[in-house]
Amino acid sequence: MNKTIKIQDLGNKDYKQTWDYQEQLFKDIVDTKIKNRREDAGLQTENHFLFVEHPHVYTLGKSGDFSNLLLNEEQLKEKGAVFYKINRGGDITYHGPGQIVGYPILDLENFFTDIHKYLRFLEEMIILTLEEYGLKAERSPGETGVWLDVGTPFARKICAMGVRASRWVTMHGFALNVNANLGYFDNIIPCGIRGKAVTSLNVELAQKTVDEVEVKEKLLKHFTKLFEAEFIKS
């Protein structure tokens, strides 16, 4: 089993270009697995972790409801945003500047073959990171992602998640609001859930900006421990 993960920080990158890149990495891993099974090749599969920040974009999961996007094509242009229907789970979400997006592209057979556990570990990574900033983040029953003040009228989502998995290979991932412009969430019904607010780390800490490099370091620290993995820069 290969528990080494190649990490790349793509900086600010177009959503479609990043999606295509994910698809290629995903395909390479799946192709290796198919070759191993057909030819008993014994090749190691690679694991990747991409950090990225996207220009304003709305994405709708394969089971999502298009009506949860509250903008028409012209209004999207006015907002400087684009829209994609994509192949992850979940409903609609927003990505944009000030948000840390993470895409783990892993062969789970290198770690464990349990998608439920995988999602819980991603949530736990976020929860442990936010704990370092003095925030008590939680899961909300029946709702993927990470929230604050669950079970109260003030419940608000700080991290969205949506993944795809095939042959135990994952893609897509999480989006943690760190210095996000929350106004862009007003143009959707986030994750298809009405009546729930969205927040950002800088808002919760009453800071103008939070150091995103530091947040990424904390995320990787907790990811490494949870998955018993080792990161190398690609």
Residue ranges at the known binding site for substrate: 88-95, 160-162, 173-175
Q: Which of 158, 191, 201, 220 is catalytic?
A: 191
Structure tokens, 188? 């959707």
Q: Is 146 exposed, middle or buried (0-12, 13-18, 19+ CB in 10 A)?
A: buried
* CB neighbourhood size of 98 (10 A): 18
Q: Are 136 and 148 in contact (CB under 8 A)?
A: yes
Residue environment code for 5-27, b if the CB has 16+ CB neighbours within 10 A, otherwise e: bebeebeebebeebbebbeebbe
Q: Are 177 and 158 in contact (CB under 8 A)?
A: yes
Alpha-helix residue ranges (DSSP H) falling in 40-175 = 73-78, 115-131
Q: From the annotation, which residues make up the binding site?
A: 88-95, 160-162, 173-175
Alpha-carbon distance 125 to 132, whole Å?
11
Residue environment code for 169-204, b if the CB has 16+ CB neighbours within 10 A, otherwise e: bbbbbbbbbbbbebebbebbbbbbbeeeebbbbbbb
159 is catalytic: no
Catalytic positions are: 191
